[in-house]
Structure formats: C-alpha cells, structure tokens
C-alpha cells in the first residue's frame, strides 16, 4: 500500500507542484520521472503485481498528457501556406565559445531576425561589423552582465522600445511584414529559486501586461531559465494566451533547454529546432512562423 500511495503522490506532485524548492528542482526532470513510471510498470508486470503495474502506467500516461499539453499542442507542424513567413534565431552568447559560430548559422539558416542575449561589448563590436549590411535594422542594449541583449532584422523595424523590470531590460521590436506588424519580445528571466521567487513572478507579470496591451501578433522569446512545464511558464502562457513552439521531445540524459519561443494565435509555427555547435552543445533555438491563412 505504501508503494502504491508513493507512486500516486509522486505523479501528483510532479503535475501540481507545491512551492517547495527541492520538489520544484526535481520537477525539472519530469521527463525522467515519466520514464521511471514506465520502467516501474514493466518491472511490476514481470513480477505479476497487477495493481502496482496499472497505477505506474496510469501515472506515466498522466505525466505524458501533462507534458504534451504544456508543449506545442499540434501533433504535426502546419503545412506552409502562401502568407508571410518570418524566421528567427535566438542565441545566448554564454553558450558560444567562439565568434565564427555566427557565420555558419547565417550561411546554413539565413534567418530574417536574430535575437541575442548576454550581449557584451566584445560581442556587440563583432555583431555590428558582421551584421550591419544584411541586418540594417537593430536595437542593442550592451551590458557587461547577463542583461545585455539585442535584435537584428532584415525586415523594417517600425518601432523598438525597452521596458525595465528591476533594472533589467526587456526589448520589444515591432517588425513590418507583408501581412501586418509583428511584435517580438525578448526577455531574460531568472530561474525560480527560494530567494528570488517573488521577483521572478513579478517579472513574468510585467511581460504579460506588456504583451496583453498589444493587438498585433506577438512572439515572446528569450532565456527563461526554466523548462516549459514549469508552473510559472504555464501561468504566463495562460495569461497571455501564447502558444508553445517547442514540441515534447524525450531527452533521456539532460533536461530540455530553457530558452523558448511563444507565439500568439494569429501565427503558426512551421519549424522549430534546437541549435547545437560542432561538439553538440546547445547554443540556441530557431523558429519559423507564418501568418494563418485569411478567411
């Protein structure tokens, strides 16, 4: 009975996570907990423990639905239509061990927009020299700490603003497309911890208020330093009605990446992928979006 109750409680705490630090840190590995339930179910089946087997597999199914609902809710990506399309690469310079990685990304993917975070003076000098001709529209906030950021665009940048939270810049750029204006938010949100939990929540609330004040299509991206099934990201998406670009993928060894792109209902995500360097280290994400077909 103790084992059966433990299985149910473990699944419940993973889905409905209380604000207890060690439990929240463990939920970051919910994908591994899911596979643990699956493995446990198979072991119980081998030893003919039918009740424990059904409970384990039921917990596995519940976690699968939870993770799926927190990710991109489409089983397949939409087919490309005739409407305007925008491709975006988001990078964090702390993941890049050399400058020329940018060169290979531009050649391989040729994005319309490049978002960069942790933009330091050295990286700013390199990117200004490298991108100025191809990406003539940009706004940068250069800092020596992790709060520096910039956005570079081939498409005309109608407006670019900075709104601050706790002296942390959040960049929002309005991009002109053939379809309509597209607003792109770039934010660097600190991960949840016991000492800064309320601060992190307030930062999400600030971004949410800014997003909700905009009528045009929105993409909110950045380094959120938490997995997409974290309760704060789920609450943020609920408040803003933004969709998740990232589909659920089973990563056995390490937790999924903490950089994300969320988009409003006027858009469709037709491509999303994690970007890795030659040594298979995560360096950023790429998303391609299209406007929904007019009706």
pLDDT digits (tens, 9 = 90+) for 192-204: 665 677 788 899 9
Beta bridge partner(s), residue 244: 262
Mean pLDDT over residues 151-159, rounded? 94
pLDDT band at 295 (very low <50, low <70, confident <90, very high): very low
- 8 A C-beta contact, residue 278 and residue 236: no
E-strand stretches of 12-148:
85-92, 113-117, 137-141
Instruction: State residue 250's pLDDT score.
Output: 47
Beta bridge pairs of residue 68: none
Q: For 13-35, what is each residue's pLDDT tens digit? A: 888 877 766 676 777 788 888 88
Cβ atoms within 10 Å, residue 50: 10
Three-state SS annotation for 90-119: EEEHHHCCCCCHHHHHHHHHCCCEEEEECC
pLDDT (0 to 100) of residue 222 = 94
Largest CA distance in the chain: 68
Q: Is the pLDDT of residue 286 over 90?
A: yes
| CA 182 to mean position of chain CA atoms | 18
Q: List all residues 6 or more positions away from 20 whose beta carbon is below 8 Å from its beta carbon.
A: none
The pLDDT value recorded for residue 209 is 94
pLDDT digits over 257-283, tens only? 889 999 999 999 999 999 988 888 889
* pLDDT above 90 coverage of the chain, percent: 48
Give Cβ neighbours of residue 230 (< 8 Å, ≥ 6 apart).
24, 27, 28, 192
Whether the predicted pLDDT of 253 surpasses 60: no
pLDDT at 42 over 60: yes
Using an 8 Å Cβ cutoff, are 89 and 102 in contact? no
pLDDT, greater one: 29 or 51: 51
Q: Taking 50 as the threshold, does the pLDDT of residue 227 lie above it?
A: yes
pLDDT for position 68: 85
Lowest mean pLDDT of 48-57, 67-76, 281-290, name the range. 67-76
The segment(s) of the chain belonging to CATH 3.60.10.10 are 85-291
Q: What is the mean pLDDT of the chain?
A: 87
pLDDT of 74 above 80: no
Q: What is the CATH number of domain 85-291?
A: 3.60.10.10
Q: Is the pLDDT of residue 252 over 80?
A: no
* Of 253 and 147, more confident: 147
Q: Alpha-carbon distance 293 to 60, whole Å?
A: 37
Do the strands 218-223 and 168-176 form a parallel or antiparallel pair, or are they unpaired? unpaired
**What is the average per-residue pLDDT within 277-292?**
90
Rounded CA separation 82/270 (Å): 13
Instruction: Calculate the alpha carbon distances from 236 to 151, 203, 221 in Å.
Output: 23, 10, 12
Q: Kindly tell me if the per-residue pLDDT of 11 is higher than 90.
A: no
């Amino acid at each position: 009975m103790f084992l059966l109750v433990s299985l149910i409680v473990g699944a419940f705490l993973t889905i409905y996570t209380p604000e207890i630090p060690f439990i929240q840190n463990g939920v970051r590995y919910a994908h591994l907990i899911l596979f643990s339930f699956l493995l446990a179910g198979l072991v119980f089946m081998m030893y003919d423990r039918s009740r424990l087997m059904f409970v384990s597999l039921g917990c596995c199914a519940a976690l699968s639905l939870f993770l799926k609902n927190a990710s991109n809710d489409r089983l397949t990506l939409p087919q490309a239509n005739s409407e305007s399309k925008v491709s975006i690469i988001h990078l964090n310079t702390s993941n890049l061990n050399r400058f020329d990685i940018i060169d290979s990304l531009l050649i391989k993917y040729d994005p319309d927009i490049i978002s960069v975070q942790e933009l330091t003076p050295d990286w700013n000098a390199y990117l200004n020299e490298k991108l100025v001709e191809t990406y003539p529209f940009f706004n940068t906030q250069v800092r020596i700490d992790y709060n520096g950021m910039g956005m570079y665009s081939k498409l005309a940048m109608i407006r670019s603003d900075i709104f601050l939270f706790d002296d942390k810049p959040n960049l929002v750029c309005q991009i002109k497309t053939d379809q309509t204006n597209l607003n792109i938010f770039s934010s660097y949100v600190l991960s949840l911890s016991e000492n800064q939990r309320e601060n992190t929540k307030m930062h999400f609330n600030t971004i949410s208020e800014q997003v909700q004040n905009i009528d045009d299509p929105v993409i909110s991206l950045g380094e959120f330093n938490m997995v997409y099934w974290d309760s704060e990201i789920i609450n943020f998406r609920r408040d803003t009605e933004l969709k998740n670009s990232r589909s659920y993928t089973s990563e056995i060894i390490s937790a999924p990446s903490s950089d994300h792109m969320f988009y409003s209902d006027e858009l469709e995500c037709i491509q999303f992928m994690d970007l890795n360097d030659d040594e298979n280290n995560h360096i950023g994400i790429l998303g391609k979006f299209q406007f929904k077909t007019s009706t």
